[in-house]
Amino acid sequence: MQVRSKLQLKGKRITVAIDEVIKLVTGIFCHAGCSEKVAREVSEHLADSDLCGVESHGLMRTLQYVDQFESDYMKAGAEPEIVINKFGAVEVDGNGGIGIPAMNIATEHVCQRAKENGTAAIAIRNVGHTGRIGAFSEQAADNGMLAIIIGCGGRVNWRQVAPYGGCKAILPTNPYSIGIPGGDRGPVVLDFATSKIAGGWIYAARSADALLPDNVLMNSQGEISRDPEDYFRGGAILPAGGAKGYALSVVAEVIADAMLGPVTTEGSWLMIALDTTRYRDPRTMQIIAEEILAELRDCPPAPGFDKVEVPGERERDYREKMKSKGICLPEQTWQQILALSDQFN
């Protein structure tokens, strides 16, 4: 089975039934101290990331999350809550727990307020890893919103990316995601790290004993490397798009740390929603959007490409293709997840 991945595996892959892996990983998180609701929510999110071909934010994160629960970096039993800060702004306080449930609550709340008021913003603070943020901007776009998610911060604990022109890791990967209702095939969704590769791909490569793509990582001497271990030996990820990715990362860092901060646990986020129906009726917007997107898809592909794609459609198409086949994981990663499950039983 052909799998979408940025990793060059040395070993093989194994296909696991979706329900089986969600049940097993839910059990792992419950034994680690999560509530049944949080455990299920997180497991389904990770499985869906793999189904979308975003292996960097998929089930291999189970290993990282459990390590972080055991070290008390994240609090397994924490539950997120909506609060009003001392300045009157609405926030989701993750209470030091995993960030995926906090992002789900934030998305639901900000969409509801945007429908009432036209626009709304919400901060998400005191959270651990938030999973694949494109899932949340897509959820908002499905509800008729233009959604923007910016943030992370936390460079003190997560020095991952070298600034443009530098050879030392200083910034986190500081992702952005934007979702907007699209044409006949669903929303247009952007989800990208401001680095050349998401940090999760490095952990995925290490877990699977794989090599990284070329020209995304430098070692501690500033030399390009494909070995994920060079990252853990003092290396740095390169910024995406040179100065442009670096500039986007700086803005995200200032939002997360200077405006929303201080960053606690892993990161802070800003989510903005705008009700697109305040500008155009949904059907008309969909028709015009489809005209734009169809023209892009019809563009002749350049050498080395099969076709021109629309942001967000590749993940949805891949999910639909993989649903009937299961989740295809590196065998080494799957064995580590099974060993973790056996450890708790």
User: How far is it, in rounded angstroms, from Cα 143 to Cα 43?
Assistant: 23
Calpha distance 189→310 (Å, rounded): 9
In a domain, 162, yes or no: yes
Q: What is the pLDDT of residue 151?
A: 92
Residue 5 confidence (pLDDT): 80
Confidence (pLDDT) at 2: 66
Could you tell me the CATH number of the domain that includes residue 264? 3.30.1370.60
Per the domain annotation, does 324 fall within a domain? no
d(CA 52, CA 321): 9
- 52 inside domain: no
DSSP bridge partners of 218: 224, 236
Compute the CA torsion angle 203, 173, 7, 226 (nearest 10 deg).
-90
Instruction: Supply the pLDDT for residue 43.
Output: 98
pLDDT for the residue numbered 35: 98
- What kind and span of H or E run contains 187? strand 186-192
The strand pair at 224-225 and 81-84 is best described as unpaired
Task: Judge whether 178 lies within some domain.
Answer: yes
Question: Does 135 fall in a domain?
Answer: yes
Q: What pLDDT, on the 0 to 100 scale, is given for residue 258?
A: 95
Burial of 2 (0-12, 13-18, 19+ CB in 10 A): exposed
Residue 53 inside a domain? The answer is no
What is the chain's pLDDT, residue by residue, as a tens digit (345 residues)? Answer: 567 787 778 889 999 999 999 999 999 999 999 999 999 999 999 999 999 999 989 999 999 999 999 999 999 999 999 999 999 999 999 999 999 999 999 999 999 999 999 999 999 999 999 999 999 999 999 999 999 999 988 898 889 999 999 999 999 999 999 999 999 999 999 999 999 998 888 988 998 889 999 999 999 999 999 999 999 999 999 999 999 999 999 999 999 999 998 999 999 999 999 999 999 999 999 999 999 999 999 999 999 999 999 999 999 999 999 999 999 999 999 999 999 999 987
**Amino acid (1-letter code) at residue 341:** S
Question: Cis omega (within 30 of 0) on the bond before 262?
Answer: yes
90: containing domain:
78-195+239-312
**Within a domain: residue 136?**
yes
How many Cβ atoms sit within 10 Å of the Cβ of residue 261?
16
DSSP assignment of 236-305: EEPBTTTHHHHHHHHHHHIIIIIIS-S--BSEEEEEEEEEGGGTS-HHHHHHHHHHHHHHHHTSPPPTT-
**Token pair 């907007």 is at which residue?**
180
Q: How many helices (H) and strands (E) does the chain have?
A: 11, 14
Predicted pLDDT at 64: 95
Does this model's pTM top 0.75? My answer is yes
Tell me how many domains the chain contains: 1
Give a yes or no: residue 137 inside a domain: yes
